[in-house]
């Protein structure tokens, strides 16, 4: 007789709720932010330039532009690419809305593409099916931090098709020993509160074209031809020109200081999350052997950024669906989540573009099976053990 899950009247495996993600701000990060609060420059000041230099180097890009969200970074990438009405961008169907909405913001049309069943990343076979002479870009999303097949992505590109990576999960990720920021036209990163490097809100766009970087820096600041720094001081002129439609996508120096401070230990933090992932892999192995679930393999040529730890339930072995397992794990105090509700399931995308579940068979079948388990730098190894015990208890109880 297996133990009773909390949702069926048993006792929760964890005494306190553990979320799927949690920021890990330390004393030094807070001191860095307070240092900015005590200075004269709260925004568009020296911390922005410092962050851009550090970030470009870290992600292996020529340039980086700091902005106030990952969505802003994506929008500015398409703006710099110069999408025209009717221009299409291939995006995976299993992603957060911003991957596609940013294309619309820049005047283009997103075209959803199915994903691969194993990696959950964009399927290049399906992308080939949807490519037309209106395709201007492909936007690989490194889901959970697992790098896409970048050789395949680059082979897919041409003079007309650029790569705009949605690297919002992928700080620290590498493909064949190279950080991702050096691949293609641009890569957008997020510093949202749930991400590995968290500033509450924030983002950065890695670029490999200096002219485009210049344009992005102007466009994030209302399209002004000069920066506040250039207009500051006794000998400086007030003069600027608006050279194009711009936005307020500025990151504050307070947020930049939080990011810089965390980037100093980003590699160490990733090593810690890699250890946690290895612990999950080995503790989940008996459940994999019993065919109750599958884990996602990491190919040897990549470094996974370990933002999410996603499992796939084997529904054929269970008497309930994913949503019951989700509720049962929440009742165990395990903050599981689902990444993501596919784009075509949202009324906006369905109505606007006529996207239909039948066109995305792989996404549709994996969506019914996926769960994200807690994964963040400060997660304790013992908690991973308790989470896996909870998963084992719930799946064993509902085993067919």
Ligand X SMILES: Cc1ncc(COP(=O)(O)O)c(C=O)c1O
| Residues taking part in catalysis | 195
Size of the residue set binding ligand X (CB under 6 A): 14
| Of 302, 289, 293, nearest in space to 325 by CA | 293
Least Å from the CB of residue 190 to ligand X: 3
| Of 268, 273, 313, 318, nearest in space to 293 by CA | 313
| Of 359, 325, 329, nearest in space to 345 by CA | 359
Least Å from the CB of residue 188 to ligand X: 7
The residue within the footprint of ligand X, chosen from 44, 69, 93, 372 (CB under 6 A), is: 69
The residue within the footprint of ligand X, chosen from 20, 96, 249, 367 (CB under 6 A), is: 96
* Residue 94: CB atoms within 10 Å: 29
Cβ proximity to ligand X, 206 vs 287, nearer residue: 206
φ/ψ of 117, rounded to 5, equals -65, -30
Least Å from the CB of residue 203 to ligand X: 5
Cα gap 335→152, rounded to integer Å: 35
* Residue 304 binds to ligand X (criterion: CB under 6 A): no
The residue within the footprint of ligand X, chosen from 47, 75, 136, 192 (CB under 6 A), is: 192
Give me Rg for the CA atoms of the chain: 22
The residue within the footprint of ligand X, chosen from 203, 335, 342, 392 (CB under 6 A), is: 203
Cβ proximity to ligand X, 169 vs 322, nearer residue: 169
The residue within the footprint of ligand X, chosen from 12, 23, 33, 71 (CB under 6 A), is: 71
* Residue 98 binds to ligand X (criterion: CB under 6 A): yes
Least Å from the CB of residue 74 to ligand X: 6
The answer to whether 138 and 156 have CB atoms below 8 angstroms apart is yes
Cβ proximity to ligand X, 168 vs 336, nearer residue: 168
Beta bridge partners of 254: none
Residue of minimal CB distance from ligand X?
70
- CA quadruple 386, 389, 391, 396: dihedral, nearest 10: -160
Least Å from the CB of residue 69 to ligand X: 3
The residue within the footprint of ligand X, chosen from 93, 95, 255, 372 (CB under 6 A), is: 95
Cα gap 139→153, rounded to integer Å: 9
Positions in 119-178 near ligand X (CB under 6 A): 141, 166, 168-169
Cα gap 65→251, rounded to integer Å: 10
Cα gap 25→227, rounded to integer Å: 30
C-alpha distance across the termini of the chain, in Å: 14
Cβ proximity to ligand X, 74 vs 388, nearer residue: 74
Q: Which residues bind ligand X (CB under 6 A)?
A: 69-71, 95-96, 98-99, 141, 166, 168-169, 190, 192, 203
């Amino acid at each position: 007789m297996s133990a009773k899950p909390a949702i069926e009247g048993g006792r929760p495996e964890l005494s306190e709720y553990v979320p799927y993600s949690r920021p890990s701000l330390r004393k030094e990060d807070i001191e860095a932010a307070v240092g900015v609060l005590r200075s004269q420059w709260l925004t568009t000041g020296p911390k922005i330039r410092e962050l851009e230099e550090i970030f470009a180097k870290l992600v292996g890009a020529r340039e980086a532009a700091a902005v106030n969200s990952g969505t802003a970074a994506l929008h500015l990438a398409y703006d710099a690419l110069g999408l025209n009405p009717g221009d299409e961008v291939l995006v995976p169907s299993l992603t957060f809305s911003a991957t596609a909405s940013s294309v619309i913001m820049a005047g283009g049309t997103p075209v959803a593409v199915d994903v691969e069943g194993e990696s959950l990343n964009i399927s290049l076979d399906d992308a080939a099916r949807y490519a037309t002479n209106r395709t201007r870009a492909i936007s690989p999303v490194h889901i959970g931090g697992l790098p896409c097949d970048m050789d395949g992505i680059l082979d897919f590109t041409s003079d007309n098709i650029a790569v705009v990576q949605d690297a919002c999960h992928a700080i620290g990720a590498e493909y064949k020993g190279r950080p991702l920021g050096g691949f293609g036209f641009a890569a957008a990163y997020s510093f949202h509160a749930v991400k590995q490097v968290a500033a509450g809100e924030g983002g950065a766009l890695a670029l490999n074209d200096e002219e485009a970087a210049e344009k992005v820096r102007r466009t994030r600041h209302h399209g002004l031809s000069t920066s506040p720094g250039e207009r500051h001081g006794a000998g400086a002129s007030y003069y600027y020109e608006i050279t194009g439609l711009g936005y307020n996508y500025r990151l504050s120096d307070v947020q930049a200081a939080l990011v810089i401070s965390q980037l100093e230990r980003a590699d160490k933090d990733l090593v810690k999350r890699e250890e946690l992932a290895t612990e999950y892999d080995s503790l989940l192995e008996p459940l994999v052997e019993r065919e109750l679930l599958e884990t996602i393999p990491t190919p040897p040529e990549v470094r996974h950024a370990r933002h999410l730890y996603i499992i796939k339930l084997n529904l054929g072995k269970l008497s309930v669906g994913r949503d019951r397992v989700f509720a049962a794990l929440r009742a165990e105090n395990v903050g599981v989540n689902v990444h993501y509700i596919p784009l075509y399931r949202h009324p906006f995308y369905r109505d606007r573009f006529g996207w239909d579940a039948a066109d995305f068979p792989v996404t549709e079948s994996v969506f019914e099976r996926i769960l994200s388990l807690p994964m963040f730098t400060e997660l304790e190894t013992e908690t991973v053990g308790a989470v896996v015990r909870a998963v084992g208890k719930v799946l064993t109880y509902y085993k067919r």
